Structure 1
Amino acid sequence: MTTANPAKASLFGLHALDERLAVIAGLARAGKNLTPSEVRQLRRALFEDEGVSHEEAGALFELDRAQNASCLEWTEFFVECLTDHFVWQARPTGVLTHEQAEFLLTEADRKFSLAGFALLANVLADADRAPQWFLDAVRSRARAPAVQAALAATA
């Protein structure tokens, strides 16, 4: 027996749950910096159910790459949401697999963002186990001039 996903008032209007990916991708294509209010809507929509899918995680990276101005609410949401997806929703819980680590680094390296670096660092902090090469790669990125400049600008 199959049931249709009910429509819910969330994510910038009334959308069926299976439309979340399209909404996130549409926001990324629009290239608009999200406001704190829009981030709160996105947070409610994605956390009201079981979290995000792998495809939605990829779309959130696209949305991060579209952000040109720093928004603390966006960074907090992005880091929390994707850490939850990769560390706590995936099985085995608390373990970052080789494939997940590759995905995270590939996506984060497509365009530097402080939110992307913060995600890598937070995943390392939360995960019980991660590949050693991932730890080394994140440490190497921490020493990069772009990261150092971005961190200095936030201090």
Structure 2
Amino acid sequence: MNQASAAKISLFGLETFDERRALIFSLARGGRDLLPADVRQLRRALFEDEGVNLDEAQALFDLERAQDAPCAEWTEFLVECLTDHVVWQSRPTGVVVDEQAEWLVQEVDRCRLPTGVALLANVLAEAHRAPGWLIAAVRARVAAPEVQAELARDD
């Protein structure tokens, strides 16, 4: 049985991995910014046991790009969930390898600026080891004038 059609028993009944992805896609197609209740629903569905796989992580990035002004809970959840995926669910644990880093930077560069920078910074903060080029890339993004302007706005 492949992962896409595998079913699992959860606190919320029998659900397939496809249903988890469908939840993410339905929220993205909803045409509205996420509310705290939406984030709680995602947290229950995705963090209940094994976290997210690569397809679900990709879908979360798509959902991020669909947002105009999501709630603060969304940004916190996205950073936590994707950091967990990149740093702790992948092997070797705690190590960000070149392939993951390339994927992450590519996806982050397509996201809203503050969320992407927060995600990259959090990944580096939690990882035991990461490619040197990733560290330099994060520093460059943090130093960018538009990021500095966004940070100054939040003060």
Query: TM (normalized to structure 1)?
Result: 0.88
Deviations 1:85-127 (A, max 9, x none): 1000100000001000001100011133311210000000000
Instruction: Answer whether contact 2:34 2:67 (CA < 8 A) is retained.
Output: yes
Distance in structure 2 (CA, Å) of the matches to 1:151 and 1:71: 17
Counterpart in the other structure of 1:50: 50
Alignment CA distance shift 1:56-1:151 (3 Å): same
SS state of the match for residue 52, structure 1? coil
Code of the residue aligned with 1:21 in structure 2: it is R
Moved more, 104-113 or 80-89: 104-113
Code of the residue aligned with 1:66 in structure 2: it is A
Alignment CA distance shift 1:6-1:122 (3 Å): closer
Counterpart in the other structure of 1:66: 66
Instruction: Answer whether contact 2:10 2:48 (CA < 8 A) is retained.
Output: no
Counterpart in the other structure of 2:154: 154
Distance in structure 1 (CA, Å) of the matches to 2:31 and 2:61: 13
Distance in structure 2 (CA, Å) of the matches to 1:75 and 1:151: 15
Query: TM (normalized to structure 2)?
Result: 0.88
| Alpha-carbon offset, residue 152 of structure 1 | 2.0
How large is the Cα RMSD of the aligned pairs? 2.3
Percent identical:
61
Counterpart in the other structure of 2:111: 111
| Alpha-carbon offset, residue 142 of structure 1 | 0.3
Structure 1: give runs of 5+ residues left out of the alignment: none
Structure 2: give runs of 5+ residues left out of the alignment: none
| Alpha-carbon offset, residue 38 of structure 1 | 1.0
Distance in structure 2 (CA, Å) of the matches to 1:84 and 1:98: 17
Q: Does 1:98 align with 2:60?
A: no
